[in-house]
Structure 1
Amino acid sequence: MGQTTSQSYTRTAVILHWLIAIMIIGQLMGGKIMMWIEPTPFKFELFQLHKSFGFIILGLSILRLIWRLMHEAPSLPEGMKPWEIKAAKATHVGFYALIIGIPLSGWIMVSVSTPKITTKIFKAVKVPDLPLPRTETLETITKTTHEILGALIAVLIIVHVGAALKHYFVNKDGVLARMIPHLKPKA
C-alpha cells in the first residue's frame, strides 16, 4: 500500500468512511441500549436492526477495503514523527480489521447461539447461519469477543478523532480536510 502525492481521498472513499463511521457509532450506542432493556418484543426488534446494520457495515467495509487496495491513500504530511506515522498506519489497519471483524464476530455469535433465531436483513433478506455447532459455551465466548471488539473500536474512534483534531488545531495541516470536503486547513 503505497502513498500518492494526492492531498485528499477519493469521493467514494470519503462517502464510505462517513457511512461506515456513522453506522458504527450508531451500533455502539444501540448495542449498549439493547443490553439495558428488559426482554420485550421491542428489544427483539432492536437486535434484528442491530444485526441488519451489522451486515450492511460488513458489506460496505469489504467494499471499502477493496476500494482502498485499488486506490492509494494521500501522502502523510511532512514533518510527522516516525512514531506518529507508525501509529497512523496501525490505526488504519486496526480499523479495517475491526470494521470487518466485528460484524463477522456477530454473525458467528448468532450462528452458534441457542436458541436459533433467524436473521433477516431489515425483515427482507434471510441470512444463513454459518455451519457451526450451537452451544452455550460458544455463545458466551463469541458474545464476549463481540463486546470486546466493540470496546476496542470505541477506543480506536476516540484516538482517531483526537489525532484528526490535533492535525487540525495543533499541526494546522490538511489531514482533516481530506475526509471533510470543503474544510479549509487552520491558518
Structure 2
Amino acid sequence: MPRRSADGYDLVAIALHWLIAVLILGLLVLGFVMTRQSIDPALQFQLFQWHKSFGMLALLLAAVRLVRSLAVVRVKPAEGLGALERRAAHGMHYLLLTLAVAVPLAGWMVASASPLEIPTFAFNLVVIPHLPVPKSEAAEAWWTTVHAVLAYSTLALVFLHSAAALYHHYVRHDDVLTRMLGSRHRTVKTSIEEPGP
C-alpha cells in the first residue's frame, strides 16, 4: 500500500501522541505508588489491576501509532532542522514508540510468568489471558527488572524529548512543538509516496 507523506501531524496522530503521553506518565506514577510497602493490600491489588488495565490500553494505542507511522503516514521533518537534528528527531520518535510498546509488553510478561497466576481484569470488564510462557519466581523477577529498567529509560527519554521540544519552541522559535499541538488554522498537506523497491 502506498505510504502517505505529510507536512504535519493529522488529528489522529496528535490524539494518539497525547493519549499515549498521558498514559505513560500516569502509569509511571501509579507504578511507583502501588509498590510502596506501607500500602493496604486490598488497595494495592486494585491499583495493580488499574495499572495493568491502562498498560494494556497504552500497548494497544502505541502499537497503532507505531504501525501507522511505519506503514501509513510519514511526517516530513520540521523546516530549519539540520541533518543531524533530523536523524536525532527520527531516532527519538521511533525509540519512544518502541518503548511505549515494550514497557507494557514486559509488564504483561511479568503477570504471565508469575506462579501466582493472578488474572488481569481489564477495567473490570474482561480478563486478559496470560501469555504462554514458563512460570517461575525467577522468570517473574527477571521480567520485573526488565519492566522497571524499560520504564525508567522511558521516563528519562520523555524528559529529554520534552526539553528538546521546549528548546525549539522558546529558543529556536520554530514549529517543532506547535505541529504536535494542532491548530484550527493549520492545514496538513499530504502526498502519495510509492513504496521503495
Q: TM-score, normalised by structure 1?
A: 0.90
Matched, 1:29 2:33: no
Distance 1:53 1:28 in 2: 11
Partners of 1:126 and 1:72 in 2: CA distance: 36
CA RMSD of the aligned region, Å? Answer: 1.9
Q: Which amino acid aligns with 1:109?
A: V
Q: How many residues align?
A: 181
2:108–2:131 Cα contact (<8 Å) kept: yes
4+ residue stretches of structure 1 with deviation over 6 A? none
Contact 1:28–1:150 under 8 Å retained in 2: yes
Task: Tell me whether 1:72 sits opposite 2:74 in the alignment.
Answer: yes
User: Residue 22 of structure 1 aligns to which amino acid in structure 2?
Assistant: V
Higher RCO by CA contacts (8 Å cutoff, separation 6 or greater): 2
Distance in 2 (CA, whole Å) between partners of 1:14 and 1:81 is 24
Match for 2:78: what amino acid? L
Deviation at 1:39, TM superposition (A): 5.0
Any idea what the Cα deviations from partners look like across 1:73-94, whole Å, max 9, x if unmatched? 133322x233322221111111
Shift of the alpha carbon at 1:4? Answer: 4.2
Partner-residue secondary structure (3-state), 1:126:
strand
Q: Distance in 1 between matches of 2:85 and 2:149?
A: 25
Cα distance change, pair 5–70 in 1 and its aligned pair in 2 (3 A)? closer
Kindly indicate whether the alpha-carbon contact (under 8 Å) linking 1:167 and 1:174 is maintained by their aligned counterparts in 2: yes
Output aligned runs, 1:2-81, within 5 Å.
Answer: 4=5, 6=7, 8-36=8-36, 37-38=38-39, 40-68=41-69, 69-78=71-80, 80-81=81-82
The percent identity for this pair of structures is 34
Cα 1:3/1:89, change in 2 over 3 Å:
farther
CA 1:126 to 1:5, structure 2 compared with 1: closer, same or farther past 3 Å? closer
The alpha carbon displacement at 1:5 in A equals: 5.8
Unmatched tracts of structure 1, length 5 or more: none
